[in-house]
Amino acid sequence: MDMKVYLILFGAIAAEVCGTLLLPLTQGFTKALPSGIVVVSYCLSFYLLSLSVEKLPLAIVYASWAGLGVFSVALVSYFFFGQHLNWQSVVGLFLIVVGVVLVNVYKVDINA
């Protein structure tokens, strides 16, 4: 499998995380600059997702995008916004990462 598709997928995840983290700054989409960045981030994320599903199964792409997006937003929110993560949350985030790794390691190759 070409690693380029995984770089595209990670780009989609990064764009989605960027958009999600900037949502509070939009203040209900009343602030033009952060609102514009959020819209562009989500559009870029979906565009990159569409490229990813050309080479990887949709279930794998979506599980990776959603799972790593949730993990990344929770982690960044903890470090940069001081949002609390209890031990149950940390275990849940760990299980998300384990799940994403498992679905990627044991995926079915659609091009085989």
What tens digit of pLDDT does each residue of 38-95 get?
999 999 999 999 999 999 889 889 999 999 999 999 999 999 989 999 999 999 999 9
**Hunting for tokens 């792409």 — which residue is that?**
61
Of the pLDDT bands very low, low, confident and very high (cuts 50, 70, 90), residue 109 is: low
CB 55 within 8 A of CB 5: yes
**43: number of Cβ within 10 Å:** 12
Question: What residues does each domain of the chain span?
Answer: 3-105
76 Cβ contact partners less than 8 Å away, ≥ 6 residues apart: 17, 21
The predicted model scores a pTM of: 0.86
Distances (CA, A) of 74 to 14, 17, 52, 86, 89: 13, 10, 24, 11, 9
User: DSSP letter string over 24-62?
Assistant: GGGTTTTSHHHHHHHHHHHHHHHHHHHHHTTTS-HHHHH
